Amino acid sequence: MSATTVNTRVLVNDFEYTVAASLDEALEFLDRHGEDTAVLAGGTDLIVQMKLGRRAPKFVLDVSKLQELKRLEAGEVVRVGAGRRYMDVLPFLTGLGRYHGLAEAIDSIGKLQVLSVATVGGNLGNGSPAADTPPPLLTYDARARVRSARIERLIPLGEFHTGPGSTVLAPDEIIVDVEFDAFPEGRGSAFRKLTRVASDISKVTCAVALQRDGATCEWCRIALGAVGPTPLRARTAEAALAGRTIDRALLEECARLVVSDIAPIDDIRCSEVYRREAAGVLFRDAFEAAWERATC
């Protein structure tokens, strides 16, 4: 019996490659060819999919040079351009000293080669339930700013993903940036990830952001990845923590609630049972780290 060989070293389908000189030019191109176009920023997901024949666009639109997609701003609102490489975003967040959850998620994505190429917008737009940046961004109540040649939309991250590999992004739209409100005093965040090997695609991820007043958790967001068809919030556990004095018994109760809020599956990386067990453990670890940081 002959074995089937998959060539992962070449792009197997023909396509037309275009480098956009401006955001307006890119949006005009998508207005004409959006249904048949793949947008290339870093390409760490797109190129692999094209090599494997899973995507065969007629056009590839390169937006990697667009300065309109590269903003980094910190004020009352923090904005991260969709076209910014993670290698730029990581020191930006580290310098702010407050957004540990998102920084930890980016740091976990890959080695230097990936961080030097991959972008924030690509990680969101790929629509993977296992993507690393959506969970911390969900805990920040982040919004994605998207544009077409006709309109601009500000989409809450909780409404952005619709299923595995699927988002609300229209074929003629580009993610411009991601924004979230600056943290007030007493807020902390953390991200935890479980993989087979370092820098691998996640088995389970968990992000926590919380507002602390002494021993009381005033406000909490919990988000997980790779445990459902989209990145998701553990809303039952969030509600159980709000306004409560934190102790070990409460955290154990909320870990059980986190497990009840998710919908994992069996796949090549691990089983549904393992993901449920791991989700509770990661939640406790992320909560405790965010709790400590909220005192700083």
Q: What are the tens digits of pLDDT across the range 160-169?
A: 999 999 999 9
The structural architecture, per CATH, of the domain 187-293 is 2-Layer Sandwich (3.30)
Residue 166: other Cβ atoms inside 10 A: 12
Any bridge partners for residue 61, and if so which?
18, 39
Q: Which pLDDT does position 219 carry in this prediction?
A: 95
Residue 158 has pLDDT above 70, yes or no: yes
Q: Which residue has the higher pLDDT, 267 or 99?
A: 99
Domain 16-62 coded CATH 3.30.43.10: yes
Q: Which pLDDT does position 110 carry in this prediction?
A: 75
DSSP state of 157: G
203 pLDDT tier (thresholds 50, 70, 90) = very high
Q: pTM of the entire structure? A: 0.93
Alpha-helical regions (H) of the chain: 23-33, 46-51, 86-96, 100-109, 112-115, 120-125, 134-139, 235-241, 248-261, 272-293
Q: Where do the domains of the chain lie?
A: 16-62, 67-181, 187-293
Q: Which CATH class is domain 67-181?
A: alpha beta
Q: Rounded to whole angstroms, how far apart are CA atoms 115 and 101? A: 17
Average pLDDT of the chain, as a whole number: 93
Q: ∠ at Cα 203 (41, 269), nearest 5°?
A: 100
